[in-house]
Amino acid sequence: MSNHLKFYIDGEWVSPVAPATLDVIDPSTEEAYTAISVGSKADVDKAVAAAKAAFTTFSLTTKAERLKLLNRILEVYNERFEDIAQAVSQENGSPITWAREAQAWAGRAHLESTIKAFEDYEFTEKRGTTMVVKEPIGVCALITPWNWPLNQIVCKVAPAIAAGCTVVLKPSEIAPISGIVFSEVMDAAGTPKGVYNMINGTGPDVGQVMAGHPDVDMVSFTGSTRAGIIVAKTAADTVKRVAQELGGKSPNIVLPDADFARAVRKGVNACFGNSGQSCDAPTRMLVPADRHDEALAVAKEAAEAHNVGDPRSTETRLGPVVSQLQYDKIQRLIESGISEGATLVTGGPGHPENLNRGYYVRPTVFGHVTPEMTIAREEIFGPVLSIMSYKDEDDAVKIANDTVYGLAAYVQSKNLENARNVAMRLRAGQVSINYPEWDTFAPFGGYKQSGNGREYADWAIHDFLEIKGIVGYGE
């Protein structure tokens, strides 16, 4: 039986206090395919009370007990792997191959890396006669987005549990079904009642209530910078910890000695992954001024190789973007690129040919983009790449850092030592050199308006802990 109209609170699937529903739209058809219940303050109060009660005992469990639970969650997650992939594909439009190999895989990978990091994690440290103790912070409100649902759910839930915290999760109401399947995983894994709770609902009616709740000790939020500011302001009244992973406008510096064609081609692919709906997408490609036209030719060919279509097909490389709101925003920004004088290399406004139904966007590349243009400054969150020129290395770094964001940055060069030097000058929480594989043990989080705190592996466990110094503990 479907749990789409239920919440998971205190170890049970329950109906909302005040019945209300919201349609879930398939972005490939623009039609509702199911509905979820949406919660209210009364539901938040129930879930937080359950988490608070459970914290009393769960915070005192041993590392071995929590490790056993995490391993059991991983086991059940793997049993439900295909269900998770199918849910993500339908709710946010991910092509099914991408949903399996990236979306569902990310949840598994974060469970595995958290378990590995947890095995080696030390919760006490002697400093002379002082004992430093790392203790769970308490009840944690976790608010996750629609673009990478399992990635963000698991890289919050798993370290929180490792730390000994209890949680209330609010998945995105735009892509909520994978969160329901994950909650079924948590239930089947035998998670103690009240340790994990899940409520669906909107940001104002549930997320903001969670952020301001006096019995919530920490909020971990992933989403837009605009929404993150609201969460932080709401949480400030109760002086709780707020960890945020927010927006980005990530630069990709192609240095003169890079394998140029490869660097540009892979940069296009990285930008367009997940239909461009990634906060760390390399959306600003910086190339030497004297090779700008060469970059445009390579980028055009690479972009046009991205076939757009039905996410159910294993042949599809780009599915739709998630919603009408997102589609309209992307169209507005594409139009601004044209009106402000950027060179439209390929793509542009409107739907791709033969795809008039669904939130499909034409893979788009702009050239001769200058730093003051809207498409160089605003997070587009779609398959749109801006190619910009630089005069020399110092100019490239200056342009790269000229943004309110600082989540990710990318450097391409055959000279590894020089690439490292450039990476050190970039104001971003994660810098990738020469397109490495995804590292779920590397710290992930932002500088500036891209947020605060760090996720993944032991970095995330640390964020869910309080530090206690017991002075005079003795030898």
Verify whether residue 245 is a known catalytic residue: yes
**112, 245, 379, 455: which is the annotated catalytic residue?**
245
CA distance 55 to 277: 35
Instruction: Please give the backbone phi and psi of residue 191, each rounded to the nearest 5 degrees, phi first.
Output: -60, 130
Coil/strand/helix, residue 311: coil
For the chain, the residue count is 475
Coil/strand/helix, residue 444: strand
DSSP 188-208: HTTPPTTTEEE----IIIIIH
Contact predicate 240/216, CB 8 Å:
yes
Instruction: Please give the backbone phi and psi of residue 439, each rounded to the nearest 5 degrees, phi first.
Output: -115, 105
**Phi-psi bin for 62: left (phi > 0), alpha (psi -120 to 50), beta?**
beta
Instruction: Name the token pair of 429.
Output: 């929480």
**155, 271, 279, 455: which is the annotated catalytic residue?**
279
Instruction: Name the token pair of 84.
Output: 């998770």
CA distance 262 to 241: 43
CA distance 317 to 101: 12
Find where tokens 């490495």 sit: 436
Burial class (CB in 10 A: 0-12, 13-18, 19+), 127: exposed
Enzyme catalytic residues: 245, 279
